[in-house]
């Protein structure tokens, strides 16, 4: 089964409006120089909410081979939820992917597997694709229980989803100790957990679903380590933080092949 690699750049709460516009343009020029046309990997840009409209207009107007993503979504549909953004609002901005359960949201905003599961369902119901983040902290890694810990998050965040829904979504394995630290999991570490996630999806659903679901690795991915990580059989892409703010670096990640 061939799974198209998905390389997603999460800008987090960075870049002002002008910088965001410049970022997408530089990324487009750099990738055009590398003869990138989107056929061999997906390039997903994930700006803050306030830049979604502008970035989408640029992508569309200039026919850039990029796909738009959002960093979060509300678990509510509408109503008295000041400051929240619903799945329908994102869908109307032509967002395709929505990151749910990023470790920063779990750690600093109290997000649980149950909440992330609700958000993933809202994203799917609105016709978009969730990128569901899972992964262990340093304490769990040191205990050696990281595989079971992560699989537990997988079970919790996928609860109630059908095989067809799971086949279409993306799971991002991000060991928290490797995020923004420069500390990268070895390719073997990434494969160990990504392989276990795929086996768990097969056990929960069936082999065709496991073969179809895409699993990203995230945690200090750079141009210098992306090829080795992408060579792992169960790694289908990367969720990139810091390096996605450097257009040349991110372009090299997207054009890793």
Interface contacts to ligand PEP, rule CB under 6 A: 10, 174, 179-180, 218-221, 239-243
Q: In this complex, which beta carbon is closest to ligand PEP, that of residue 174 or of residue 236?
A: 174
Report in angstroms how near the CB of residue 9 gets to ligand PEP at its nearest.
9
Six-digit token pair at 158?
A: 């996928």
Q: Give residue number: closest CB to ligand PEP.
A: 241
Question: In sequence order, what DSSP letters do the residues of 174-204 get, joined into one string?
Answer: --GGGSSSS-PPPHHHHHHHHHHHHHHHHHH
Q: In this complex, which beta carbon is closest to ligand PEP, that of residue 86 or of residue 103?
A: 103
Active site residues: 102, 174
Q: In this complex, which beta carbon is closest to ligand PEP, that of residue 169 or of residue 240?
A: 240
Q: Is 29 annotated for ligand binding?
A: no
Report in angstroms how near the CB of residue 82 gets to ligand PEP at its nearest.
26
200-237: b (≥16 Cβ within 10 Å) or e: bbeebbeeebbebbbbbbbbbbbbebbeebbebebbbb
User: At a CB cut-off of 8 Å and minimum separation 6, what does 47 contact?
Assistant: 11, 15, 20, 55, 71
Q: Is 242 annotated for ligand binding?
A: yes
Q: Is 10 annotated for ligand binding?
A: yes
Helices (H), the chain: 17-33, 52-61, 87-92, 103-108, 113-125, 138-143, 146-158, 163-168, 187-204, 207-212, 226-230, 247-254
Report in angstroms how near the CB of residue 198 gets to ligand PEP at its nearest.
20
Q: Is 180 annotated for ligand binding?
A: yes
Report in angstroms how near the CB of residue 52 gets to ligand PEP at its nearest.
18
**Closest to 218 in 3D by CA, of 130, 99, 107, 86:** 99
Is residue 131 within 8 Å of 97, Cβ to Cβ? yes
Q: Is 156 annotated for ligand binding?
A: no
Q: In this complex, which beta carbon is closest to ligand PEP, that of residue 22 or of residue 180?
A: 180
Q: Which residues are annotated as a binding site?
A: 10-12, 180, 220, 241-242
């Amino acid at each position: 089964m061939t799974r198209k690699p998905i390389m997603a750049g999460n800008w987090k709460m960075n870049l002002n409006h002008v910088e965001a516009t410049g970022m997408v343009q530089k990324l487009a020029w750099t990738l055009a120089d590398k003869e990138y046309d989107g056929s061999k990997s997906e390039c997903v840009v994930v700006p803050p909410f306030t830049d979604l409209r502008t970035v989408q207009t640029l992508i569309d107007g200039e026919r850039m081979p990029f796909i738009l993503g959002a960093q979060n979504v509300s678990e509510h549909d509408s109503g008295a939820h000041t400051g929240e953004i619903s799945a329908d609002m994102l869908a109307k901005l032509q967002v395709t992917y929505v990151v749910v359960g990023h470790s920063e949201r779990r750690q600093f905003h109290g997000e649980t597997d149950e909440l992330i599961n609700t958000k993933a369902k809202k994203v799917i119901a609105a016709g978009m694709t969730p990128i569901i983040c899972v992964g262990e902290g340093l304490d769990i890694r040191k205990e050696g229980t990281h595989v079971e810990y992560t699989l537990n998050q997988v079970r919790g965040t996928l609860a109630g989803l059908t095989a067809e829904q799971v086949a279409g979504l993306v799971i991002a394995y991000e060991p928290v100790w490797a995020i923004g630290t420069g500390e990268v999991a070895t390719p073997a570490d990434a494969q160990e957990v990504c392989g276990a996630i795929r086996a768990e999806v097969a056990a929960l659903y069936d082999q065709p679903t496991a073969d179809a679901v895409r699993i990203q690795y995230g945690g200090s991915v750079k141009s210098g380590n992306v090829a080795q990580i992408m060579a792992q059989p169960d790694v289908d892409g990367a969720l990139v933080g810091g390096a996605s703010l450097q257009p040349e670096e991110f372009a090299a990640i997207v054009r890793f092949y």
